[in-house]
Amino acid sequence: MTMQLIADSIKFSYGLRAAVSDVSFKAAGGEILGIIGPNGSGKSTLIKLISGVLRPTNGNVLINGEDTTLWSPRRLAQTVAVVPQDTQIAFDFTADEIVAMGRNPYISRFQSITNNDMDIIKAAMTATNTSQFAGRSILELSGGERQRVIIARALAQEPKVLLLDEPTAALDINHEVEIFELVRRLTKQKQLVTVAVLHDLNLAAEYCHRLLLLSRGTVAAYGSAETVLEPENISAVYGL
Ligand code: ADP
Ligand code: MG
């Protein structure tokens, strides 16, 4: 069965101000939905609503028809993985320790890691070409290498839905392309529903099957890259 993620008129307010309002979209397994829009338009809030970090004040997030707000945190973490924008790792973990954290939603408190977990960790590192960093401190890796390790951690969660919030904001263009090539390949191979916030409209056009353009928390345009990236839409929203 093809995975399906639906946002059905979701709304969220921090206090009195709505940060996301009446946002709806559908995303399918094997495809990348790109979320674009100016700073403060609600992109990160939308990612947090899909991942369950925030709960919509109205509307629903549905995965294969099920309302995810009814799910346990463990079940949600077994289904949805997040790659944040700026991965701040304060402690001196090795790359393989970071990837192993992806198994946490599967391991109960007094249990330790199994051979099956080890196999999944190894496969995630192979798929992201990070095996060679296994014993090295995450702090000594370059930004692009570190982001690949974080993607490996997300894969180790064996998610059905992969959320990325400006995963390449801190990287130069060559490494941005490398990360999006990886994300595209994994999305196809594992038939993930991938939702990525992008700051670069060229990358959005190149890698996303569909785009959602946010303006002040509402949907300004939604559909194919060609329609969403029409100059009228872009100038109206970005004020160019
Ligand atoms: P984007 O990711 O598109 O830059 P955000 O989702 O981070 O936008 O923010 C959307 C709006 O919500 C902004 O006006 C922002 O100031 C506000 N906002 C974000 N996080 C919080 C918060 N924790 N408390 C109050 N307001 C917030
Ligand atoms: Mg943001």
Burial 27-47 (b: 16+ CB within 10 A, else e): bebbbbbbbbbeeebbbbbbb
CB 131 within 8 A of CB 125: yes
With CA atoms as reference, report the closest residue to 30 among 183, 154, 185, 193.
193
19 lines ligand 1 (CB under 6 A): yes
Among 14, 36, 166, 212, the mutation site with the greatest number of ligand 1 atoms within 8 A of its Cβ is 14
Is any ligand 1 atom within 6 A of the Cβ of residue 48? no
Q: In angstroms, how far is CA 151 from the centroid of its own chain?
A: 9
Q: Which atom, in ligand 1's list, is nearest to the CA of 45?
A: 6
Please give the distance, rounded to the nearest whole angstrom, from the Cα atom of residue 137 to the centre of ligand 2: 27
pLDDT at 208: 98
When the pLDDT of each residue in the chain is averaged and rounded to a whole number, the result is 95
CA–CA distance, 22 with 13 (Å, rounded to integer): 12
Q: Which of 59, 34, 50 is nearest to 222 (CA)?
A: 34
> For residue 151, how far is its CA from the centre of ligand 1 (angstroms)?
24
What distances in angstroms separate CA 15 from CA 12, 41, 59, 108, 215, one per listed residue? 9, 16, 17, 36, 19
55: Cβ contacts below 8 Å, ≥ 6 apart: 12, 49, 69
* Distance between Cα 12 and ligand 1 center (Å): 10
The answer, yes or no, to whether any atom of ligand 1 lies below 6 A from the CB of 223, is no
Tokens of 141: 């890796």
Ranges of residues in the chain whose predicted pLDDT is under 50: none
Predicted confidence at residue 222, as pLDDT, reads: 98
* CA pair distance 59, 125, nearest whole angstrom: 37
Q: For the chain, how many residues are written? A: 240
> Ligand 1 pocket check: which of 10, 39, 44 to mutate, most ligand atoms within 8 Å of Cβ?
44
Which amino acid residue places its CA nearest to atom 12 of ligand 1? 19
Here the tokens at position 113 are: 């890691």
Computed from CA positions of residues 114, 117, 123, 125, in that sequence, does the dihedral angle turn out positive or negative? negative
Q: Can you give the pLDDT at residue 235?
A: 95
Query: Which pLDDT tens digit goes with each residue over 141-173?
Result: 999 999 999 999 999 999 999 999 999 988 889
pTM for this model (two decimals): 0.96
